[in-house]
A = this chain, B = another copy of it.
Amino acid sequence: MDKKEEILKTALKLFVEFGFHATPTSKIAKEAGIANGTLFHYYKTKDELILALYAHTKSRLTEYMYANASKDESLELVFKSIYTNTIEWAQENKAEFYFIQQFSTSPFYGLISPEEITKQAKPHLDFLQAGIKAAVLKPLPVDMLYTLINSHIAGINQYLSSEEFSTPKQKKIINESFQLLWDMIT
């Protein structure tokens, strides 16, 4: 049993349910079935725990995003694969995805260095830049393109989470919304 993982898992659940302001470290420790001191053995401060949780969750998402993306395919297919993967991950890991958004829209996000943020975005921006260069994507500023795509995904995810859709219906929405996005940026 990996206590470090257990702490992250529990913290995620509680932060999403009650927010940062209303989940004391004591509650996390209790719910995780460990002693108070153990939590602070692994994470020096509450802030450090929150930052670690973000990094961990974000990297899990990033990993999944690029899964099965064979580079032989056309740019559209690769892009669609990333798009679909992202939304599928978000739907299968709703708390995780919600946490990423919660964190990003909180002052905690400011604790991450600009370099780290740039580094995170780099591969995505490069990918988009290549698409522009190949004259597949519209020659918009890459940052703008990137933000627009992210927002679109966040929106569709929110829509999918707002109701209970059957799996085929969900797939249909993902396909259709991808087409809307693709038409917008190409």
Contact = CB atoms under 8 A, between A and B. Distances in A.
Interface of A: 16-22, 98, 101-102, 104-108, 140-141, 143-144, 147-148, 150-152, 154-156, 158-159, 162-163, 173, 176-177, 180-181, 183-185
Nearest to A181: B184
Binding site of A, secondary structure by majority: helix, strand, loop or mixed? helix
Contact of A19 (B16, B108, B141, B154): B108
Contacts of A150: 155
Contact of A148 (B18, B19, B143, B152): B152
A156 B143 CA distance: 10
Copies in the assembly, this chain: 2
A175 to B, nearest CB: 13
A108 B16 CA distance: 11
A158 B156 CA distance: 18
A107 B107 CA distance: 16
Contacts of A158: 147, 151
A107 B18 CA distance: 6
22 contacts: A16-B107, A18-B107, A19-B20, A19-B108, A20-B21, A101-B105, A102-B106, A105-B106, A106-B106, A140-B176, A144-B173, A147-B156, A147-B158, A147-B162, A148-B152, A148-B155, A148-B156, A148-B180, A151-B154, A152-B155, A180-B184, A181-B184
A151 B155 contact: yes
Contacts of A106: 19, 102, 105-106
